[in-house]
Amino acid sequence: MWRPPILNAYRLKGSTWQTGYEGIKVADEEGAFKNTQFDGRLEFNKDNFSLTLRGLTLTDSGEYSFISVKETVQRPTVIITLYVHEAITKEPIVNYSSTWHTSNASCTVLLECSAATGNVTYQWTVGTETFNGSRLQHIIRRQDEDTKFNCTISNVVNVMSTIETVRCSNDTSYQPETGMCREVIVVYWCSLMIFYDLKLVIKITRHFTGKKPETDVIFALIVGAGGCLLVAVIVGVAVCVYRHKQSQAVVENELTVYADITDVAIGD
């Protein structure tokens, strides 16, 4: 509720409440206007000239002006600024990625904190250190064991936080060569499925025709499938070895870059 200061003692000839830069009238001495964005939520008190707005929304934020006239002189305009803030109802979400560095047995952790509510302030807490911003780059070492990253979001209404625990380990780091070697396993299992399908085809043929497929045909199919399997495995292993060498080169380059910024790795 907004009440203009000490107006009860005055006998005003006219009074108007306006909002926005365009000065849209929302109430006067006769009462609150209808067919506005405040329709049904606005009350004007004719005794003390106060304006009450209920069911506030974010779009209600802005300036509200009270214009009044005493006798024939317009009184100074009273301007009230309204700020409507959205309450934080969901905890922030933390996503992170970790890169293992073999040379010094450490990890570079990149974290990002996100909130469902807009216009919030982000703050990270790691041990006794604090950092501002939604993103954080931090160095942890294997001997640090579990490191807790606390992301806190806040506004003028309330505060919420989420804790993400990260452990530095080369077992959990992203290793491209592992993914490439999995392709070999996939090829192997696919080849086994082919052999199974060949066996199934032979059984079905024998069931419906009553004849056993010729031995040389079966032998040709098996040799062909076996040859494909051998080629696929050789190619897969070659790709795996090649990607492993490439990833090692990339890791060495990353170590050089991070070594230069380790001492200044802070949050946004």
DSSP string, the chain: -B--TT-TTS-EEEEEEEETTTTEEEEETTEEPSSSTTTTTEEE-TTT--EEE-S--GGG-EEEEEEEEETTEEPPPEEEEE---PPP-S--EEEEEEEEETTTTEEEEEEEEE-SSSS-EEEEEETTEEEESSEEEEEEEGGG-EEEEEEEEE-SS-EEEEEEEEE--TTTS--HHHHHHHHHHHHHHHHHHHHHHHHHHHHHHHHHHS-PPPHHHHHHHHHHHHHHHHHHHHHHHHHHHHHHHHHHHHHHHHHHHHHHHGGG----
Provide the CA 5 distance to its chain's centre, in angstroms. Answer: 46
Q: What is the pLDDT of residue 249?
A: 42
Choice among 47-56, 117-126, 138-147, 218-227 with the minimum mean pLDDT = 218-227
Domain ranges across the chain: 12-82, 93-167, 176-264
165 pLDDT exceeds 90? yes
Written as six digits, the tokens of 27 are 């109430």
Query: Angle at the Cα of 27 (from 24 to 32), degrees rounded to 5?
Result: 125
Spatial contact of 100 and 170, defined as CB atoms under 8 Å apart: yes
Q: Which of 26-40, 58-72, 91-105, 199-213 has the highest mean pLDDT?
A: 91-105
Query: Which percentage of the chain shows pLDDT scores above 90?
Result: 32
Mean pLDDT of 200-223: 60
According to DSSP, the β-strands at 135-141 and 106-114 are antiparallel
How far is the C-alpha of 27 from the C-alpha of 41, rounded, in Å? 12
Tens-place pLDDT, residues 11-62: 666 788 988 877 888 888 888 888 788 888 998 888 888 889 999 888 899 9
Name the CATH superfamily for 93-167: Immunoglobulins (2.60.40.10)
Q: What are phi and psi of 30, to 5 degrees?
A: -85, -20
Q: Which of 26-40, 143-157, 167-181 has the highest mean pLDDT?
A: 143-157
153 pLDDT exceeds 90? yes
248 pLDDT exceeds 80? no
Q: What is the pLDDT of residue 34?
A: 84
Q: What is the pLDDT of residue 179?
A: 42
Comparing 12-82 with 93-167, is the CATH topology the same? yes
How far is the C-alpha of 229 from the C-alpha of 189, rounded, in Å? 10
**Identity of residue 197:** D
Q: What is the pLDDT of residue 10?
A: 57
How far is the C-alpha of 75 from the C-alpha of 79, rounded, in Å? 12
Choice among 18-22, 57-61, 226-230, 239-243 with the minimum mean pLDDT = 239-243
188 pLDDT exceeds 50? yes
Mean pLDDT of 205-220: 59
In order of 46, 216, 246, the CA distances from 7 in angstroms are 11, 109, 79
CATH architecture of 12-82: Sandwich (2.60)
Q: What is the mean pLDDT of the chain?
A: 75
262 pLDDT exceeds 80? no
Q: What is the pLDDT of residue 139?
A: 95
Q: What is the pLDDT of residue 172?
A: 46
Written as six digits, the tokens of 151 are 């992301």
